[in-house]
Amino acid sequence: MKIRSVVAAIATGALALTVSGCGSGGGGGDSDAAGGGSGSQTLTYWASNQGTSIKHDKEVLTPQLKKFEEKTGISVELEVIGWDSLQTRIQTAITSGQAPDVVNIGNTWAASLQATGAFLPFDDNAMSAIGGADKFVEPALATGGAEGQPVTSVPLYGLAYGLFYNKAMFEEAGIEPPSTYKDMVAAAEKLTDTKAGVHGLALAAGSYTENSHFAFINAVQNGAELFDDQGQPTFSSDGVVKGIHRYLDLMQKHEVADTSNAQYTNGVQAVNDFAKGKVAMVISQNNAGSSIEAQGMKPDQWGVVPYPAPAGGEEIASHVAGINLSIFKNTENKEGALKFVKFMTSPEVQKAVSSEFKTLPVLKDAEPTFSKKEEASKMFQNIYNNMSAPLPLVPAEDQFESSVGQAMNKMFATIATGGTVTLEDVRVAMETAEQQVAASSGS
Amino acid sequence: MTTSTKVPDHVDPKDGPAPDPPAPRRKRRKGWWLPYALLVPAVFFELLVHIIPMITGIWVSFLELTQAYIANWGAAPFAGLGNYQISLDFNGVIGSALLRSFAVTCAFTILVVGIAWVMGMAAAVALQRQFRGRSLFRTFFLVPYALPVFASVIAWKFMLQKDSGAVNHLLSDNLGLIDEKPFWLIGDNAFISLVVVAAWRLWPFAFLMLMAGLQSIPTDVYEASAVDGAKPFRQWRSITLPMMRPVNLVLVLVMFLWTFNDFNVPYILFGSSQPPAGDIISFHIYNASFLTWNFGLGAAMSVLLMLFLLLVSGIYLMVLNGRNKRAGN
């Protein structure tokens, strides 16, 4: 009899954990420094990890925050959050109301986060409080939220994809840096030497966010759209499917990326391969420069060109990537938060910080200062200004990233473990992703 | 269970909550409230930690709590059984994925609990006898259970890497058993990895419980059976196993519930990109909530999971307790 009540007690406890563990996604949350600023003279700021490490971010930002305090008397409590947990932390902050005052977001989330209604819209008043909309580069500001509404985030750092290449390896093989897709594949094939453990390209093939970006870029190169005018997903359209298949073929058909790449769950691993000379090329964003150089590769040892489009395709090499700044609506110090956003997007701070983080300027008339290499700065600036398309500014954008990105993870895993992924397989996977988005958004 | 402090002497506890005899009204003893007062903190925290989140979870499962409403739950429209319909529509993508994940989890749980129990039992029996260094082995065997889950599973993750991992190094470079180094964390092998790591983490718990249980079996039973000529296996089958029955009953149930709900191991092992073969249900539900921001749907799946576990636990206890009673008669 005793046993029974013990069992019953334990079973109830374990069951209770099941439901509370999963169901409290909204209620539970970190109740740490996110208190929202107790006094009016303190702001809480969540920064994303932009430097080579979280420590590096703190070292870069702290002197700026000190300056802000000297200027305004408002002290800023800084927390730097890694990319693997930033989105969850923001979700928790939204659901619990235990939010910081100001937060960095990946600009592709802007429309999705805007739809939550938790962020302060930068209407005319707010915009003029931070120095006016005119100061920002237009395509960068356009990423701040859905079209036709006041943005809920403003650009902070600009980023774009580029194709990094190892100069010595290209010279040795007697080839020029590629300017067409065909050239890129040919160069990658030539430089792949599996016996020596060297490959033409490294891909972050196990990272759903990276994969989803390349689904977008390759689809746009084919002239395809991810969402129609009604905001319904069109992932299984011809252009998207073929674009994804082209990207998968870098590992499948051309075999220029190591199958191990299917385990790379973030872009850094691919960049590391490049810095160590294990691959001749890597497609990464401009801030990768700091990681590459931190690992001992000298600025004159690498070059960068746009990620090329196939013959006859649109010359799009990147999405308008970057980091935006948002203010939580329930901040107790709106004025201070606006001052802080103005400060962070001022030319002085932009100049000081972006040279450390190797990011592109988001202000008109600003010169890129992120690299000692003028050619690379100019190249990225050109890609950012002229060869980038914004990801769809719809509330379901984040679901595009997760559903399509995860599907691509699985397809890369299939290829890596010896299977084949046909065009038809991609189409079926994309149809599933479309249904997922439709079902999840509760329609 | 909390009322046992106040059972009047003349009531046989076996009769359960019998109506009070029609005795004249007694004056309450001085200090009668103290036991209740002492229980208040426990009840309060039980409510706070378990009951309220559970009820919140059930409530959320009836809401259309998508990204548009997470900042203001109150405004979320009532979805009725909509979330349950989507979860249980096995022809739709979400329902069929849930069903698949459920099947993977069942296979995973059966294997992990089975392996952990067998290993735990073997180790407990082996260490039942006195010998030099026995306590050393006991401590050693508990290491996987004592290590923080993050530290140990991340170590496994490194060991299971394709090119640089210790597992492939051992299998391929040292032993030469395989030519091509396989993937352990993606593709179908991910299931094997998951089972191995989860069983490795769980078996010391089985070992600990069974070891404690074995101590309670009097040694003279074994001595008597040895006189009758029983060999060790026969002793184990006819003495150890039946006498350990109550321990096994609890142990298997608890291990089942823990393993079925395991979140840490797949989450740390696979990160945000779980392979289909390692798509354990609580991880699946997490993704359904956090990647798609549809917390109502995730909560509905959680409630379904709870109902399933409640059902299994109930049937398990009814069947086994029934057998116990028959055996007792």
ipTM, two decimals, is: 0.78
Cα nearest neighbour of B285 on chain A: A22
Asked if A403 and A382 count as a contact pair (C-beta separation under 8 A), the reply is no
* Range with lowest mean pLDDT among A99-108, A247-256, A341-350, A431-440: A431-440
Residues of chain B above pLDDT 70, percent: 90
Q: Determine the pLDDT at residue A21.
A: 43
Contacts B275 to A, Cβ<8 Å: 410, 413
B308's CB contacts (< 8 A; 6+ apart) are: none
State the pLDDT at residue B5.
Answer: 44
pLDDT value, residue B20: 53
H-helix or E-strand containing A8?
Answer: helix A2-23
Query: Helices A334-344 and A347-357, interaxial angle, to 10°?
Result: 60
How far is residue A257 from each of residues A160, B252, B276, B306, measured CA to CA in Å? 22, 46, 23, 44
The pLDDT value given to residue B3? 41
The identity of residue B109, as a single letter, is T
pLDDT tens-digit series, residues B190-224? 999 999 999 999 999 999 999 999 988 888 888 89
Residue B24: pLDDT above 80?
no
> pLDDT band for position B306 (50/70/90)?
very high
Nearest by CB to B186, which of A27, A84, A262?
Answer: A262
| CB-based contact A16 B50, cutoff 8 Å | yes
pLDDT tens profile A186-236? 999 999 998 999 999 999 999 988 999 999 999 999 999 999 988 889 999
Closest CA to A216 of A111, A322, A318: A318
Smallest Cβ distance to A402: which of B54, B162, B292? B292
Residue B62 CB contacts under 8 Å (≥ 6 apart), including other chains: B78, B79, B80, B81, B83, B296, B300
pLDDT tens across A42-55, in order?
999 999 998 888 99
CA distance A25 to A28: 6
- Mean pLDDT over each residue of chain B, to the nearest integer: 86
CA triplet B278, B282, B283: central angle to 5 degrees?
50
Select the residue from B46, B64, B70, B102 to test the A interface by mutation, using most A Cβ atoms within 10 A.
B70
C-beta atoms of A442 and B294 within 8 A: yes
* A440 to chain B, closest Cα gap in Å: 6
Give the β-pairing of A161-166 and A302-305: antiparallel
pLDDT of residue B328: 55
**Interface touch A8/B305, C-beta < 8 Å:** no
Put simply, the answer to whether A22 touches B57 (Cβ < 8 Å) is yes
Q: Does the pLDDT of residue A121 top 50, yes or no?
A: yes
Count of all residues that appear for chain A in the document? 443
Please tell me the distance in Å from A8's CA to the nearest CA on chain B.
9
Q: Which of B82, B190, B208 is nearest to B146 (CA)?
A: B208
Q: How confident is the model at residue B65 (pLDDT cuts 50, 70, 90)?
A: confident
Whether the per-residue pLDDT at A81 is higher than 50: the answer is yes
List of chain B residues whose C-beta atoms are within 8 Å of the C-beta of residue A211: none
**What integer pLDDT is reported at residue A23 of this predicted model?**
37
User: Residue A322 pairs with which residues in a beta bridge?
Assistant: A158
Asked if B79 and A442 come within 8 Å (Cβ–Cβ), the reply is: yes
Q: Where would I find the beta strands (DSSP E) of A129-288?
A: 154-159, 161-166, 199-202, 279-285
pLDDT tens, position by position, A310-332: 999 999 999 999 999 999 999 99
Indicate the range of A124-128, A155-159, B66-70, B197-201 predicted with least confidence: B66-70
Domains A42-159+320-389 and A161-319+396-440 share a fold: yes
HEC assignment per residue over B155-203: HHHHHCCCCCCHHHHHHHHHCCCCCCCCCCCCCCHHHHHHHHHHHHHHH
For chains A and B, CB pairs below 8 A equal: 203
pLDDT at A25: 36
Cβ proximity of A276 and A169 under 8 Å = no
Confidence category of residue A1, pLDDT binned at 50, 70, 90: very low
Rounded to an integer, the average pLDDT of B291-300 is 86
Enclosing H/E stretch for A308: none
Q: Sign (positive/negative) of CA torsion A220, A222, A223, A224?
A: negative
Confidence of residue B70 (pLDDT cuts 50, 70, 90): confident
Higher pLDDT, B106 or A2: B106
- Interchain contact, B272 vs A14, CB within 8 Å: no
Closest residue to A260, CB basis, from B53, B79, B163 = B163
What is A42-159+320-389's CATH topology? Answer: D-Maltodextrin-Binding Protein; domain 2 (3.40.190)
Q: Quick one: pLDDT at residue B101?
A: 94
Å between A26 CA and nearest CA of chain B: 8
pLDDT bin (cut points 50, 70, 90) of residue B13 is very low
Q: Inspect the interface and report whether the beta carbons of B306 and A18 lie closer than 8 Å.
A: yes
User: Domain range holding B300?
Assistant: 43-328
Q: Each residue of A225-276: pLDDT tens digit?
A: 999 988 889 999 999 999 999 999 999 999 999 999 998 988 888 999 999 9
The total of structural domains in chain B comes to 1
Chain B residues in contact with A7 (beta carbon < 8 A): 249-250, 253, 317
Q: How far apart are the first and last CA of chain A?
A: 50
Question: What is the C-alpha separation between B108 and B201, in angstroms, rounded?
Answer: 14
Q: Give the range among A292-306, B69-83, B106-120, B308-322 with minimum mean pLDDT.
A: B69-83
Q: How far away is chain A from the Cα of B101, in angstroms, using its nearest Cα?
A: 15
CA-nearest residue to B304 within chain A is A19
Is residue B293 helix, strand or coil?
coil
**B309 interaction partners in chain A (CB closer than 8 Å):** 14-15, 18
Of B51, B70, B257, the CB nearest to A95: B70
Q: Which residues of A touch B70 (CB under 8 A)?
A: 26, 91, 94-95, 116, 118
Q: Considering chain A, what is the average pLDDT of its residues?
A: 87
pLDDT of residue A36: 41
Q: What kind of fold does domain A161-319+396-440 have according to CATH?
A: D-Maltodextrin-Binding Protein; domain 2 (3.40.190)
Length of chain B equals: 329
Residue B1's pLDDT is what?
40
User: Residue A4: is its pLDDT beyond 70?
Assistant: no
pLDDT (0 to 100) of residue A259? 93
Q: Which helix (H) or strand (E) holds A104?
A: strand A102-106
CA dihedral B170, B174, B175, B177 (to 10 degrees): 70
Nearest CA in chain B to A10: B254
- B122 domain residue, yes or no: yes
B contacts of A263 (beta carbons < 8 Å): 161-162, 183, 185-186
Q: Which parts of A24-161 fold into alpha helices (H)?
A: 54-72, 83-96, 110-114, 124-129, 138-142
Query: Which residue on chain B is closest to A84 by alpha carbon?
Result: B272
The confidence band for A290, taking pLDDT boundaries of 50, 70 and 90, is confident
Q: Do the Cβ atoms of B1 and A26 come within 8 Å?
A: no
- Of residues B291 and B201, more confidence is placed in B201
Of the two residues B50 and A408, the one the predictor is more confident about is A408
pLDDT tens digits along B76-116: 888 888 889 988 989 888 899 999 999 999 999 999 999 99
Nearest CA in chain B to A410: B275
Q: Please give the pLDDT value at position B6.
A: 45
Q: In which element (H, E) is residue B286 found?
A: helix B281-290
Task: State the DSSP string of B53-93.
Answer: HHHHHHHHTTB---TTTTT-GGGSPB-TTHHHHHHH-TTSH
pLDDT for B103: 96
CB contact under 8 A, B61 and A5: no
Q: Spell out which residues of chain B touch residue A9, defining contact as CB-CB under 8 Å.
A: 1
Residue A9: CB partners within 8 Å, gap ≥ 6? B1
SS3 A77: strand
| Beta carbons of B273 and A25 less than 8 Å apart | no
Average the pLDDT over each of A104-113, A117-126, A296-305, B282-291 and give the range with the smallest value.
B282-291
Give the start-end residues of each E strand in A239-313: 279-285, 302-305
Strand partners, A324: A105, A155
Predicted pLDDT at A291: 83
For A372-427, how does the pLDDT look when each residue is reduced to its tens digit (9 = 90+)?
677 888 899 899 988 999 999 888 888 899 899 999 999 999 999 999 999 999 99
Amino acid at B123: A
Contact A416 B93 (CB under 8 A): no
Query: Which of B158, B257, B261, B291 is the mutation pick for testing A, counting most A CBs within 10 A?
Result: B291
Residue A6 has pLDDT above 70, yes or no: no
pLDDT at B236 over 70: yes
- Does position B11 have pLDDT exceeding 50, yes or no? no
Contact in structure between A159 and A367 (CB atoms under 8 Å): no
Give the residues across from B170 on adjacent strands. Answer: none
Residue tagged 């900042």 (tokens): B71
In this structure, is residue B319 part of a structural domain? yes
Say which residue the tokens 């990537």 belong to. Answer: A321
Contacts B313 to A, Cβ<8 Å: 11, 15
Would the CB atoms of B185 and A263 count as touching at under 8 Å? yes
> What average pLDDT does this structure show over A345-361?
89
The C-alpha atoms of residue B31 and residue B11 are separated, in whole angstroms, by: 21
Does a structural domain hold residue B17?
Answer: no
**Is the Cβ pair A406, B161 closer than 8 Å?**
no
Query: Which residue in A has a C-alpha nearest to residue B59's C-alpha?
Result: A23
Q: Where are the domains of chain A?
A: 42-159+320-389, 161-319+396-440
Share of residues in chain A with pLDDT > 90 (%): 65
In chain A, what residues touch B290 (CB-CB under 8 Å)? Answer: 25, 88, 91
Residues 6+ apart with CB under 8 A from A442: B64, B66, B79, B82, B294, B296, B297
Interchain CB distance below 8 Å, A395 and B72: no
Per the DSSP assignment, residues forming a β-bridge with A165 are A281, A303
Q: Cα(A318)–Cα(A217) distance, rounded to whole angstroms? A: 6
Map residue A303 onto helix, strand or coil: strand
Please state the three-class secondary structure of B9-49 as a single string: CCCCHHHCCCCCCCCCCCCCCCCCCHHHHHHHHHHHHHHHH
Cβ contacts of B319 on chain A, cutoff 8 Å: none
- CA-closest candidate to residue A255, choices A404, A423, A418: A418
Q: Check whether B261 has a pLDDT greater than 80.
A: yes
pLDDT tens for B127-160 read 888 888 888 988 899 999 889 999 999 999 999 9
CB contact under 8 A, B58 and A23: yes
Q: How confident is the model at residue A284, as a pLDDT?
A: 94
Distance CA A194, CA A185 (A): 16
pLDDT bucket at A442, cuts 50 / 70 / 90 = low
Q: Residue A232: left (phi > 0), alpha (psi -120 to 50), or beta?
A: beta
C-beta of residue A101 within 8 angstroms of C-beta of residue A37:
yes
Contact B141/B204 with Cβ under 8 angstroms?
yes
CA B20 to chain centre: 40
Cβ atoms of A74 and A336 within 8 Å: the answer is yes
